[in-house]
A and B are shown apart, each in its own frame.
Chain A
């Protein structure tokens, strides 16, 4: 991505270059928004389609009594929930086209939001059908439930609902925080069993999906597509990439007491098409490490045969990684994310790195296009030693005509007792005081979520459009 032809600052060509860059990024963001909108519309239409197929089957004509009305409500809520579940699977499949349009973090956020609706939909599905059947059979709810549960396929369906409930509970933020990632992950894997358990009753009991109907083929196609995307992008692609690129740790360098840069060498890395600022899920194949998988951004633009990450010991898993030895084999899933040149919208650039969040900023600084004199890097740490990779960033800033601002100290409060993200030396300052052109810039923020949120709010208050503010959240 880096454009070697970037002119020196102040020349007449600089203005032309800025104009060309602005045009390129405007076209790029237009295309990305268009793709994101297109996917959004497709998602909504798929929901409409699930109801439309029921309507086309004469669903409304069958509503002739209260029992039938309740049954219809149960069928429709089940269909919508099933459609949303297929969408969730597609979002979780990390399909490159989807991730590059929405951003991986946004796709995951939508996935979590849909989870709640799938559960509500399925609970309504069960409840309405139970009531509807009871009304039609003239039975009490318990008698009807007993009669329904004598159907094997339906017992599986109820098990599926139970599993999905457990998955949903384990994914509520408060509950999720109490368990290690691996436990949560295994619970989440049960989703596949739940989907498998739910399938038989859909096709055997649902008259809508009966043999020989169009709806049957439609839904089979939906499930096959979701399953194929999952297998291809979550299983085969990562395994293939890991074998293809044969990454091995070559250098481990301490940047600070609790921060290391790990450099890896591999084959045919340009084929990965990594952009500075993107991340991978890394798995180091060493004793005690192989069963963890961690998301880390690359901390330097990749070269033809090396990738580098810079990580801080923040938890049990990352602490263990401090001792990784050269020669360790590495498996990868990725690259993911659009915290990169791919999400640029403007010619001017502001990069804000806080703590270990400096690592992806360092890679992005190297890889994205810059108009000399119209880019600023702001690094913040509690102490000078927390300005990781400072030496490298200084060199890059000098080479590329980028202004470097370092802020040292904890967050402070202003006279209104509002917490700001700047330290005492800049108390009361806003982003626009440090970067006059911030309103007309892309602002990239990476750091702990609380501090990042403050920077994002600051940028918004300074007039930067929300589309131009990039803050990738680490989500799982």
Chain B
């Protein structure tokens, strides 16, 4: 390996790594703002996603009651989310997360569901992030949750 190749390889690799790092931190920054600054971000995301949401997350609230979302199948099982609305706000959310039968999935589900529950209660809406390491379960969770909230 010639010196020229070594130098070029180091510079090019550093460039690629730097670009990856920059993209990663830029995305990370937006993630933190969406989770921490609740009022400001619900507004921005709501306008960008749909107009219907502005009304639900904003002044007008959900109808009281208990709503069960559709059962969403994913690669490692299925998730059904039930949401309870009281006083126009989400007061409880439960989920039936079935694993495909393997213990690893069951373990992931048992960790992810409580995290999702606390995130949903904190956000007061279906506008929450997936949990890394449990992407399939939590993506299905959010889909089911939103279908439940759509009824409310």
Chain A residues with CB under 8 Å of chain B are 33, 36-37, 40-41, 43-45, 47-49, 51-62, 71, 136-137, 146-148, 150-152, 154, 204, 207, 210
CB B87 to nearest CB in A, in angstroms, measures 34
Cβ-defined contact, B75 with A204, below 8 A = yes
Q: How far is the CA of A154 from the CA of B23 in the complex (A)?
A: 30
Q: How far is the CA of A359 from the CA of B27 in the complex (A)?
A: 62
Q: How far is the CA of A71 from the CA of B104 in the complex (A)?
A: 15
| Mask of B92-135 contacts with A, CB within 8 angstroms, 1/0 | 00000000011111010001000000000000000000001101
CB B100 to nearest CB in A, in angstroms, measures 9
B8 touches which of A41, A48, A60, A62 (Cβ 8 Å): A41
Q: With A37-B2, A137-B111 known to touch, is A49 a contact of B103 (CB < 8 Å)?
A: no
Q: How far is the CA of A406 from the CA of B121 in the complex (A)?
A: 91
Q: How far is the CA of A61 from the CA of B136 in the complex (A)?
A: 20
Smallest CB-CB separation from A47: which chain B residue? B13
Cβ-defined contact, B21 with A147, below 8 A = no
Can you list 27 A-B pairs with a CB-CB distance of less than 8 A? Answer: A33-B2, A37-B4, A37-B8, A41-B5, A41-B12, A43-B9, A45-B9, A45-B13, A45-B16, A48-B13, A48-B14, A48-B17, A49-B16, A49-B20, A53-B20, A54-B20, A57-B24, A58-B27, A61-B25, A61-B27, A61-B28, A62-B132, A71-B133, A148-B104, A151-B102, A207-B135, A210-B136
Cβ-defined contact, B21 with A52, below 8 A = yes
Q: With A37-B8, A41-B5 known to touch, is A48 a contact of B104 (CB < 8 Å)?
A: no
The answer to whether the Cβ of B19 comes within 8 Å of any Cβ in the partner chain is yes
- Dominant SS at the A interface? helix
* Residues on A with beta carbons closer than 8 Å to the beta carbon of B20: 49, 51-56
Cβ-defined contact, B75 with A151, below 8 A = no
CB B107 to nearest CB in A, in angstroms, measures 6
CB B63 to nearest CB in A, in angstroms, measures 33
Smallest CB-CB separation from A40: which chain B residue? B5
The answer to whether the Cβ of B31 comes within 8 Å of any Cβ in the partner chain is yes
* Residues on B with beta carbons closer than 8 Å to the beta carbon of A47: 13
CB A200 to nearest CB in B, in angstroms, measures 10
* Residues on A with beta carbons closer than 8 Å to the beta carbon of B136: 210
Q: How far is the CA of A150 from the CA of B77 in the complex (A)?
A: 14
Cβ-defined contact, A59 with B24, below 8 A = yes
Q: How far is the CA of A45 from the CA of B5 in the complex (A)?
A: 12
* Residues on A with beta carbons closer than 8 Å to the beta carbon of B16: 45, 48-49, 52
Which of B1-53 touch A at CB < 8 Å?
A: 1-2, 4-5, 8-10, 12-14, 16-17, 19-21, 23-25, 27-28, 31
* Residues on B with beta carbons closer than 8 Å to the beta carbon of A36: 5
9 extra A-B contacts, CB within 8 A, seeds A44-B9, A55-B21, A147-B103: A37-B2, A43-B9, A48-B13, A48-B14, A56-B19, A58-B24, A61-B28, A150-B101, A150-B102
Q: How far is the CA of A154 from the CA of B135 in the complex (A)?
A: 17
Q: With A48-B12, A147-B107 known to touch, is A56 a contact of B27 (CB < 8 Å)?
A: yes
CB A295 to nearest CB in B, in angstroms, measures 26
- Dominant SS at the B interface? helix
How many B residues are at the interface, by size bracket?
Answer: 20 to 34
CB A138 to nearest CB in B, in angstroms, measures 10
CB B66 to nearest CB in A, in angstroms, measures 32
CB B136 to nearest CB in A, in angstroms, measures 8
Q: With A33-B2, A151-B102 known to touch, is A56 a contact of B107 (CB < 8 Å)?
A: no
B19 touches which of A52, A62, A147, A151 (Cβ 8 Å): A52
Cβ-defined contact, A147 with B13, below 8 A = no
Cβ-defined contact, A147 with B104, below 8 A = yes
Cβ-defined contact, B9 with A58, below 8 A = no
* Residues on B with beta carbons closer than 8 Å to the beta carbon of A41: 5, 8-9, 12
CB A70 to nearest CB in B, in angstroms, measures 12
Cβ-defined contact, B28 with A58, below 8 A = yes
* Residues on A with beta carbons closer than 8 Å to the beta carbon of B103: 146-147, 150
Smallest CB-CB separation from B132: which chain A residue? A62
CB B8 to nearest CB in A, in angstroms, measures 5
Q: How far is the CA of A63 from the CA of B20 in the complex (A)?
A: 16
Smallest CB-CB separation from B130: which chain A residue? A207
* Residues on A with beta carbons closer than 8 Å to the beta carbon of B13: 44-45, 47-48
Cβ-defined contact, A56 with B5, below 8 A = no
Q: How far is the CA of A52 from the CA of B23 in the complex (A)?
A: 9
* Residues on B with beta carbons closer than 8 Å to the beta carbon of A51: 17, 20
Q: With A58-B28, A207-B135, A210-B135 known to touch, is A151 a contact of B105 (CB < 8 Å)?
A: yes
Q: How far is the CA of A148 from the CA of B105 in the complex (A)?
A: 9
Q: How far is the CA of A55 from the CA of B4 in the complex (A)?
A: 27
Cβ-defined contact, B12 with A44, below 8 A = yes
